[in-house]
Amino acid sequence: MSSSYKNRIQEFKATLSEQKIDLKALRELCFSGRLSRVSRVCVCVCVCADVFTVSRVSQGSRVKEAFVRSAGRDVYAQFLREMIIQPGIAKANLGVSREDVTLEDHPLNPNPDSRWNTYFKDNEVLLQIDKDVRRLYPDMAFFQRPTDFPCQLILDPQNEYETLRRRVEQTTLKAQTVSSPGKALNLYPSNEYEVLPNGCEAHWEVVERILFIYAKLNPGIAYVQGMNEIVGPIYYTFATDPNSQWKEHAEADTFFCFTNLMSENRDNFIKSLDDSQCGITFKMESVFSKLKEKDTELYMRLQEQNIKPQYFTFRWLTLLLSQEFLLPDVIRIWDSLFSDQDRFEFLIPVCCAMLT
């Protein structure tokens, strides 16, 4: 390890050890990439997304424990209790007979307020999420591996909550092999990953749960394809942190970081806003306007060849470049992106730099 790198680490740790943290100085360190290898984007996301409290840090405390707001983790646990539960179970647990529950609210009930009707609509969103998260970063084995901290609230055999994986399995058709003389035909081939033992869950299942709860809490936008590419790097950073406390609460912390991030970036995912000044069309045109200002020759060449900005900038802007680089490089870019005061305005010149 070079002396300059050691100095950068010391500078970063010194900033975090102050009695009162200088957020401006911390953002500057994050923007320049001078992050300790034991912290990376965790601190940058937490501080710059305003998720955790950063008012005072006592001397000698661990680097990131000062940012934790445990109340938010309790709130997330409550979300799990309220939103990942099969309709009818709650009333049955209160002593109401199954017959009474069925007569009042059953799977064929056409009432829009029926809990079963809501359950089936949620399944439509869940199936899209499930399809996307299963192929999250397919070149990495991480998301298919079991997490060290599975959600005990969901997997505890003492309760009656069902996993989202189980809901999907009950909703979708299974692969079947039809035998005939001389050949066998595989119908509906499945690309499911190997099923883990009871009590275990893969990292992609945790990401699926985060996105499902976000969709439930934000019905106006729900889930849009591509959100999985944004939440993936955030979760990966928390779930691979050397500090076991952060790894244990990676799901809840990722949820709130993702929610805060989407509060600024959600307009890109709302189709009705595409042509407004805050929509994705305006931002794509902003990339070309900036390119015209910085590199007129390249801009004119693209115009001559009728290459529209939406051909490439749409994915760059909506997914924050998460599909354009390897995950370590994405995290490094996000260090600067999230710590910049202008946030997504900074993304415009970055996209221009990629063109030139």
d(CA 295, CA 303): 13
pLDDT at 34 exceeding the cut of 70: no
Q: Is 114 left (phi over 0), alpha (psi -120 to 50) or beta?
A: beta
Tokens of 32: 């320049």
d(CA 192, CA 131): 10
For the stretch 81-138, pLDDT in tens is 888 755 445 434 444 444 444 556 666 777 777 777 777 888 899 999 999 999 899 8
Q: Poorest-confidence range of 194-198, 335-339, 343-347?
A: 194-198
User: Are 30 and 334 contacting, i.e. CB atoms less than 8 angstroms apart?
Assistant: no
CA distance between the termini of the chain: 33
What's the whole-model pTM score?
A: 0.81
Specify the pLDDT at position 14: 79
Specify the pLDDT at position 328: 87
Mean pLDDT on 33-57: 48
Q: How would residue 345 be classed by pLDDT, with cut points 50, 70 and 90?
A: confident
Using CA atoms, how far residue 123 sits from 23, 79, 89, in Å, is 42, 17, 17
For the stretch 264-281, pLDDT in tens is 888 888 887 777 777 788
For the stretch 75-84, pLDDT in tens is 898 898 888 7
Specify the pLDDT at position 339: 80
* 296 CB neighbour count, 10 Å cutoff: 10
Specify the pLDDT at position 298: 92
For the stretch 162-212, pLDDT in tens is 678 877 877 765 555 555 555 444 444 444 556 777 778 999 999 999 999
Specify the pLDDT at position 1: 62
d(CA 68, CA 250): 12
Strands 176-180 and 183-187: antiparallel
Q: How would residue 50 be classed by pLDDT, with cut points 50, 70 and 90?
A: low
pLDDT at 57 exceeding the cut of 70: no
Give the residue with greater pLDDT, 218 vs 276. Answer: 218
C-beta contacts of 307-316 below 8 A and 24+ residues apart: 309/284, 309/285, 310/281, 310/284, 313/283, 313/284, 313/287, 313/288, 313/351, 314/280, 314/284, 315/226, 316/287, 316/347, 316/351, 316/354
Reported as type and span, the H/E element at residue 111 is none
Specify the pLDDT at position 142: 93
Specify the pLDDT at position 58: 35
DSSP state of 195: P
Specify the pLDDT at position 316: 93
H-helix segments, the chain: 3-16, 23-31, 41-48, 70-83, 89-93, 98-104, 115-133, 152-155, 164-171, 203-217, 227-239, 244-248, 250-265, 280-294, 296-304, 313-318, 327-339, 347-355
d(CA 216, CA 83): 8
Vertex 296, ends 295 and 299: CA angle to 5°? 90
